[in-house]
Amino acid sequence: MHGIEELNDVQKQAVLDTEGAVLVTAGAGSGKTRLLTHRIAHLITDLDIKPYNILAITFTNKAANEMRSRLETMLDAEGIWIFTFHAACVRILRGYIDKLGYDKNFTIYGDAEIKAIVKRICKKHNYEDDFNKRLLSAISDAKNKGISPDEYEAVYKFADDADIVAEAYGEYQKALKSDNALDYDDLLILTLKLLQTSAEAREYYQNKFRYIHIDEFQDTNKIQYDIVKILAQKHGNIFAVGDEDQCIYTWRGASIANIFDFQHDFSCKVYKLEQNYRSTSNILQVANRIIKGNTQRLDKKLWTENADGNKVVCFCADTDGFEADYVVRTILELTHRGDFNYSDCAILLRLNALSRHFEERFLQYGIAHKVYGGFKFYDRKEVKDVLAYARLAVNTYDDEAAFRIINFPKRQIGEASIEKLREYTESVGKSVYDVVTGDVMPFNAALSGKLHAFGNTLKVLREKAMGDILDFFRYLLNDVLRVTDLFADDSEGEARLENLNELIGSVREFAKNNEGAGLSDYLQMVSLYSDTDEMDDDNAVTIATVHSAKGLEFPVVFVVGLEDGLFPSLRKNESAADHIEEERRLMYVAVTRAKKWLYLTYAKSRYLYGETQYKLPSRFLTEAGLVERPLAARDLDSAWRGSAFGGYGSAGGSRGDSGYGYSRDSARREPFGGGTYSAGGDGIENGKFVGGYKSGYGKKPEPAEKSSAASATDIRVGVIVKHKRLGKGKVIGLEKLGNNVYAKIDFETGGVMQLAVGFAPITVVEE
C-alpha cells in the first residue's frame, strides 16, 4: 500500500473506502491534500485502476499544480485529469460542443472582449455608460444562478430595469454565439447543458470517470454540483472533501447547502478529519469556541498532538493608531530576538482599507512588507485617481495627472479627443490645465464645451487647494466626484468607498500633526509611502484580507480590527443570521492560519468615515472567552438593525448622516463629513469603554540592542536625527506611553511623526 502508513486512522479509513460516495469534512490544517493524493495513489498502485479513469477537481490552478506535483513524486500520473472546474469543462466541451451548435474551435473570451461586447450593446441602445458595470454584474450573477435571458425578466420582475437587462443579456449571448465564443460562466453552463442533453457525451464521460474526487467542496456552486452529480451517476464513486466551516465565498455563488445535499443525494459515508497538524492546542481552542456558534455545520472539533503553545493574545488599544503601533512593536520584538523572520508574520484584515495604518508604520520603522493578493493602499486605483486631482491642483503642469482624471468621472471625452488635446498641448507648449482653463480652444463646440467644464472644475479646486487640506478633499469627494453616486452600482463600490474614507483619515492625521501644512506638504508625505519598490519581498511581513489568506499559514498571525461593525462586518440587504454565520466562518479561517502565535487586536476608538467612532469589541472575542462585556443580546440585535450598513448610535443604535458606514441616502449628502458620535446601549458610558478583556499577553523581554536605533538616553528635544528613509528631522517632543518612549519628530520631507524611540531606525546626527 502506497504510503498509507503515513496517514492517521481516520485518513486511512477514508482512503481505503473506495467504492460508493464518500464525504470527508476536513477541518483546517487536517491534511486534506495529503489525503487526496494518497487515495489516488492507492487506487492506481494497489487497486490497478487506470489513471485515465480518475478525475480530480480543485478550485485553483495552484492547488491543481500542487496535487499533480505530489502525485508525480509517488507514481506515474500521466492520464489523470487534475484540473480546476473550468479547465475540465473546456476539455469536455472541446470534444462534444458541436452537439450544442458550436464549432469545436471555440474561443474563450476574457474581460476585455466581454466588456467590448457590453459596451457596444449599451451604445446601440443609448444606455448610460455607468450601465455597463451593472449589466456585466447582472449577466454574471444570472449565469451563476442558471438563469437564462428568457427567464431573467420573470425572475427579477421587481427590479426596475429587469426588462432592459433581459434584452441586453439576450443580445450579449447572441453576440457570443455569433463569434463562436464562450465566457467563463458559459464553460460551466454549457457543460451542464451538454451532459443533460447529449446521451453520447454523457455516457462517454460517465464511463471514463470511474472515480471522481472534488476538493474544496464547500466552494462549489449549484451548476458545478449538478455537473458532478451527472458525471457520478453511473459508477457512484465520488469522493468529496470540504469544510463547511470554511465556506466564505457565498457572495460569489458558493453554496454551503451542497455539502448537506450531497449526503441526501448520494447516501454517502461521512468521515471527519479533526486532527490538526498546523496549530497549537491553545489556538485551536479559540477556533473551536468561535465556530461552534454556527448552526449550518457538521459537528466536529479540531484537536492536535502539538503542544499547548503560547497563550492567544487579545490586545485592546485605545485607538486604531495605537493598535498599529502595538502590532509593529510586537513584530520587531519577535524578530529582533531571533525567534522569527518578517516573512513568518502576517496581518489579516476584514476590510482592505484598514491596511493603511500598518503600511505606514512599517515604512516608518523600516519593516519590509507586501500586500498579498492586492495593491498597497496608495497604489489603489480610486486613491490614485483622487490624489491625481490634488496633484493637479498643486502643480498645474502635471499633465500625467490631468490625462489620468480627464474621464474620472466620465465626461464623454473619447480617446480620439484626448489624443487631439495631447497633440495640441505639445504643439503650442502649454499644459493641459492652461488649455482647458483658457478662453479659446481649436476644437469643435461639443469637445470645447466638455473641456471648458473640466477646466472650470480644476480652477475651483486650484483655489480650494490654497485653504484647509481636509476641506479640499471633502469638497473634491462630495461635490466634484460625488463618489457615493459614482460607485453606487460598482460591484466593488463599497470597498472603493472604504478606501476613500481611509484616505480622508490619512489627511486628517497629517493635518492634526502638521499644523499649518498645505496640500503640497501632504502630497510629499504620500510620495514617501508610495515609493517602496526597493523593499525586499523575500523577507517581508504579509498584509492580507482574510479572504485572500485562505489556504495560507504563518507562524505568527495578527487578526486586527476586531470590532463589531468591522469584523463581523455589517452589510445591507442580507439575512442577519446567514451573514453572521459566514462572518464567523471567516473568523475561523483567520484564526486557523496561525501556527505558533496568534494575536487578536481591537481598538476602543477608530477614525472611520470622517469621524471618531467608539467601538465595541467583536462578538467573536466574547465567544472565544477572551473579552467580557456587559452588553445584552437585544442591544446587539437592535444595533445590528440600526441602519443600512449597521452601527451603534443614539436611540438604540440607529444613525443619521454620519452613521457607521453610511446608508446610500444619508451618505449621499455628506459621507466624508464630520459629526459627533453618540453611543447607545450599555457598552459605552460617557464616551468610555467599560468592558474588560482577558489576555495572555505579559511583559515582553527587552529586544536586543540594535545599531540602527537610538537609545532613549540619546534622544532629547532639539536634537537632529536621521531616519534611513525619511531623512533628517528635529525632535520637537517626547512622551512616555506604557513602557515605550515616543519621540515627536518634524522631518524635512515627511512632516511630523511620532515614533517609538527603541524601535525606529533613527540615529542622532546633531546635538
Residues classed as catalytic: 32-33, 215-216, 246, 593
Residue entry with cell 454517502: 268
Which among 731, 420, 666, 369 has a CA at the least distance from the CA of 542?
A: 369
What is the rounded CA–CA span in Å between residue 460 and residue 450?
16
Q: Is the peptide bond before 568 cis (omega within 30 degrees of 0)?
A: yes
DSSP state of 717: T
Residue 740, SS3 per DSSP: strand
Residue 530, SS3 per DSSP: helix
What is the rounded CA–CA span in Å between residue 21 and residue 104?
33
* Alpha carbon 299 to chain centroid, angstroms: 29
Alpha helix locations (H) across 292-375? 320-336, 355-364
Q: Which amino acid would we find at residue 342?
A: Y
CB atoms closer than 10 angstroms to residue 374: 16
What is the rounded CA–CA span in Å between residue 375 and residue 543?
10
Q: Which amino acid would we find at residue 117?
A: I
What is the rounded CA–CA span in Å between residue 461 and residue 448?
20
Look up residue 707 and give its three cell numbers: 545599531
Q: CA neighbours within 13 Å on the CB side: how many for 335? A: 22
Check: CB of residue 401 under 8 Å from CB of residue 420. Answer: no
Residue 566, SS3 per DSSP: strand
Helices (H) and strands (E) in the chain, counts: 30, 24
Give the sign of the dihedral formed by CA 132, CA 135, CA 140, CA 143: negative
Check: CB of residue 563 under 8 Å from CB of residue 602. Answer: yes
Which among 624, 549, 15 has a CA at the least distance from the CA of 273?
A: 15
Look up residue 668 and give its three cell numbers: 449621499
Check: CB of residue 352 under 8 Å from CB of residue 466. Answer: no
Look up residue 278 and give its three cell numbers: 498546523
Check: CB of residue 191 under 8 Å from CB of residue 92. Answer: yes
Longest Cα–Cα distance in the chain: 87
Residue entry with cell 532629547: 716
Residue 17, SS3 per DSSP: coil
What is the rounded CA–CA span in Å between residue 468 and residue 608?
20
Which among 513, 591, 515, 523 has a CA at the least distance from the CA of 558?
A: 591
What is the rounded CA–CA span in Å between residue 694 and residue 763?
38
What is the rounded CA–CA span in Å between residue 107 and residue 115?
15
What is the rounded CA–CA span in Å between residue 620 and residue 571?
17
CB atoms closer than 10 angstroms to residue 170: 16
Q: Which amino acid would we find at residue 648?
A: Y
Within 8 A by CB and 6+ apart from 139, the residues are: 118, 165, 169, 172, 185
Query: Is residue 718 exposed (0-12), middle (13-18) or buried (19+ Cβ within 10 Å)?
Result: exposed
Look up residue 129 and give its three cell numbers: 455608460
What is the rounded CA–CA span in Å between residue 469 and residue 521?
10
Check: CB of residue 296 under 8 Å from CB of residue 256. Answer: yes
Query: Is residue 108 exposed (0-12), middle (13-18) or buried (19+ Cβ within 10 Å)?
Result: middle
